[in-house]
Amino acid sequence: MLVRILPVIGLLACLAVFGVSQQKEIRHVPVKATSPASGPEMYTAYCAVCHGIDGTGKGPAAEALKVPPTDLTVLAKKNGGKHPSDHVTTAIRGELRLPAHGSKEMPVWGELFWGMSEGHSSEVQLRVTNLNKYIESLQAK
């Protein structure tokens, strides 16, 4: 039953932004299923609204958030030049306690991926791995 409920939770977790009287508001929209094989597609659908298309943390929802989104392009730079793959995987899965991750503002994608895959752990792992690889490709040179 939980697996079937998670996509509904996703309805409350995805973010979209629209302007209202010079103020930004966060509006919850349905989570859109994407290909687990495409890191770029998942990033665009799930991450870019906050982290920006380029990963710098300047997505359209960024200014409406209480905790600014992380600049994903400097993760390797801040980790001695090596992409912190384990750290990113843990953050995506929701196993890492970050100020925004797991809050009402930042969805826990691991849970949402479980719902999309109907509990197939290999598909969840494929999603997390491919999203992580795409984030690695965004690292500043």
Model confidence pLDDT, tens digit, residues 20-34: 223 556 666 777 889
Question: In this predicted model, what pLDDT tens digit does every residue of 47-81 receive, in sequence order?
Answer: 999 999 999 999 998 888 888 899 999 999 999 99
d(CA 20, CA 26): 10
Q: Is the pLDDT of residue 9 over 50?
A: no
Please report the DSSP string for 91-114 in residue order: HHHT-S--SSBTSSSB--HHHHHH
Instruction: Please give the model's pTM, rounded to 2 decimal places.
Output: 0.77
